[in-house]
Structure 1
Amino acid sequence: MNDPVRPAEHLRAALDDVLAGLPPKQAAGAVERLIAHYRGETPTTAPILRDRADVAAYAAYRMPATFEAVRSALEAFAAAVPDWTPGSHADVGGGTGAATWAVTATWPGERSVTVLDWAEPALALGREIAAANPALRDARWQRARIGTALTLEPTDLVTVSYVLNELAEADRAALVDAAAAAARSVLIVEAGTPAGYARVIEARDRLIRAGFRVAAPCPHSAACPIAPGTDWCHFSARVSRSSLHRQVKSGSLPYEDEKFSYVAATRLPVEPAPARVVRRPQIRKGQVLLDLCEADERLRRTTVTKRHGDLYRAARDAGWGDPWPPEGSPA
């Protein structure tokens, strides 16, 4: 797999370039307005991202977080299908194309890439930013209404990131069904909230009914063992904060953690993790507490102590979202 640091650096540099001509106060104001007014349905007349200034500000604010969340999910997916590289990719509702950058950070080489979105200014800026990434210079950026009328050409991989929250229930179902009909593999990413998790589970169930197997994060394709309304499954990706982030959020830390929920499903042979760490590990004196989702469809807390030797050292290094046990470690 590629080193994700280089695409991330190129993306940040490209975003700095598009912000160069936008006064900082205008950029921060656009982001604050868009965060306050970005609501749940695909626009029927004019997109909320109205012009280049809106799109540039929002891309600088959200693209790094979307990139890191999608890249993290794709990393888990790639580990479950280690001998596969997608030869084509459709990013549905992709806007400025953060998920396409994450795909290039996960798998080397060029591929056919299509980005579909309703907002023409977002597509135009995505095309401009993509010039900094050789793997995306031939990507197609196409305007399309995302919903019940959507049809997709056959493709190896479909990504749908932070889109389902913008759609009505019927449009969400149609989008997932269209992805399942067109793709060999599908990745759905949503915000790491109870509502985002519920949308992911809804999509997960539809993909399984369409004949897909879950590759990640779940170690099985059975029903999620979390009782509805009691908890939600989500993960975290660390994002370097830009000056715009710090200005909008009045924060001083150089990073923030993007919480997200996801499902990666495929028609390919799959080797899911034996178990997945579904909460941040708790490190205590001489022991590590791990909350796991296991292949037998259960949630379980396990305690790994010093007497477990190498496994204890692996547990101290384990992160939220990691497979367990690590490859090569004793069970």
Structure 2
Amino acid sequence: MNDPVAPADTLRTALAGLLDGLPPRQAAAAVERLIASYRGATPTHAPILRDRADVVAYAAYRMPATFEAVHAALEAFADAAPAWAPDSHIDVGGGTGAATWAVTATWSGRRPVTVLDWAEPALALGREIAAAHPDLHDVRWQRSRIGAALSLESTDLITISYVLNELAENDRATLVDATASAAQAVVIVEPGTPDGYTRVIEARDRLITAGFHIAAPCPHSAACPITPGSDWCHFSTRVSRSSLHRQVKGGSLPYEDEKFAYVAATRFPTTPAPARIVRKPQIRKGQVILDLCETDPGLARTTVTKRHGDLYKAARDADWGDAWPPAEG
């Protein structure tokens, strides 16, 4: 796997360069309008990203967070399948290509990649940004409506990130079924909200019905042990904030935490985590409290104390979303 720092830094530099010449107020106004559109409860029937100004502003604002969320999901997947790497990749609804950057940050080298999206300005900008990374020079950027009529070629990996919210329920189901027919591995990422989690679980269930095995985050391919409506499974990753982030959201912190829900599923055998930390660890004097989803399947809380020696040290260093216990070596 690659060091994720270099692609992330390259991406941030490329995005910062795009904002040159775009008035800050115009960029901020575009982001605020686009956020309102993306948060709407009604699926859209036209591209949300309408022109270059829209795309530049939203890419600068959202691509780093999407990159980090997808990369975190891919890393968990890669840990469950350490001997596997995709020889081909399709990014459905990929827009400016954040997930494509995340894939190349996880597995090195060039591979045939196709990014499908309805918004031509997003694809054009994605092609422009990808010129900054040598592994992304040969990506095919293809305009295609994402929905029931979408046709997918056979491929090793399909990513679908922050897309399902834009589709009607029937279109979501059809897309997941088409993805299951075309791919050896599927990674779906949605916002870390109750609704985002529900969409991920719906997709997870359809993939399992289609014969897939869950590689991450779940330690099993049985039903999710969370009682519907009582809670939701999601994770968090840290994102460096740009000046545009600070201008739109206010505040001075150099980072923010992106909450996301995801599922990674495969047609080939993997080794899922023995358990997954599903909440931020609670570090207290002499002990660490971990909330786990376990292979059994079920949810459990465990307390690791100083008496556990090296395991206690590992628990103090553990992050939300990590496998537990940590792999040796």
TM-score after normalising by structure 1: 0.98
Deviations 1:236-265 (A, max 9, x none): 010000000000001210000000000000
Give the whole-Å Cα distance in 2 for the aligned partners of 1:61 and 1:155. 30
Q: Is the 8 A contact 1:190 1:196 kept in 2?
A: yes
Secondary structure at 1:16's aligned position in 2?
Answer: helix
> Are 1:296 and 2:308 matched, yes or no?
no
Give the whole-Å Cα distance in 2 for the aligned partners of 1:68 and 1:41. 26
Deviations 1:256-278 (A, max 9, x none): 00000000000111000000000
> Are 1:282 and 2:319 matched, yes or no?
no
What is aligned with 2:85?
A: 85
Q: For this pair of structures, how many residues does the alignment match?
A: 328
What is aligned with 1:34?
A: 34
Q: Is the 8 A contact 1:42 1:146 kept in 2?
A: no
What is the Cα deviation at residue 37 of structure 1? 2.5
Alignment of 1:29-68 (within 5 A): 29-38=29-38, 39=40, 43-44=44-45, 46-68=46-68
Give the whole-Å Cα distance in 1 for the aligned partners of 2:10 and 2:275. 34
Give the whole-Å Cα distance in 2 for the aligned partners of 1:311 and 1:146. 46
Give the whole-Å Cα distance in 1 for the aligned partners of 2:174 and 2:306. 51
Partner AA of 1:49 in structure 2: L
Give the whole-Å Cα distance in 1 for the aligned partners of 2:143 and 2:263. 26
What is aligned with 2:156?
A: 156
* Cα RMSD (Å): 1.0
Give the whole-Å Cα distance in 1 for the aligned partners of 2:57 and 2:41. 20
Do the aligned partners of residues 13 and 161 (structure 1) sit closer, same or farther apart at CA in structure 2, a change above 3 Å counting?
A: same
What is aligned with 2:180?
A: 180
Partner AA of 1:306 in structure 2: K
Identity %, equivalent residues: 78
Alignment of 1:231-270 (within 5 A): 231-270=231-270
Give the whole-Å Cα distance in 1 for the aligned partners of 2:47 and 2:24. 23
Deviations 1:39-73 (A, max 9, x none): 356643x4121100000000000000000000000
Give the whole-Å Cα distance in 2 for the aligned partners of 1:19 and 1:49. 16
Give the whole-Å Cα distance in 2 for the aligned partners of 1:94 and 1:40. 20
**Structure 2: tracts of 5 or more residues without a match:** none
Give the whole-Å Cα distance in 2 for the aligned partners of 1:251 and 1:205. 40
Secondary structure at 1:236's aligned position in 2?
Answer: strand
What is the Cα deviation at residue 35 of structure 1? 1.0
Secondary structure at 1:76's aligned position in 2?
Answer: helix
Q: Is the 8 A contact 1:81 1:268 kept in 2?
A: no
Q: Is the 8 A contact 2:95 2:119 kept in 1?
A: yes
TM-score after normalising by structure 2: 0.98
**Structure 1: tracts of 5 or more residues without a match:** none
Give the whole-Å Cα distance in 2 for the aligned partners of 1:41 and 1:146. 16
What is aligned with 1:314?
A: 314
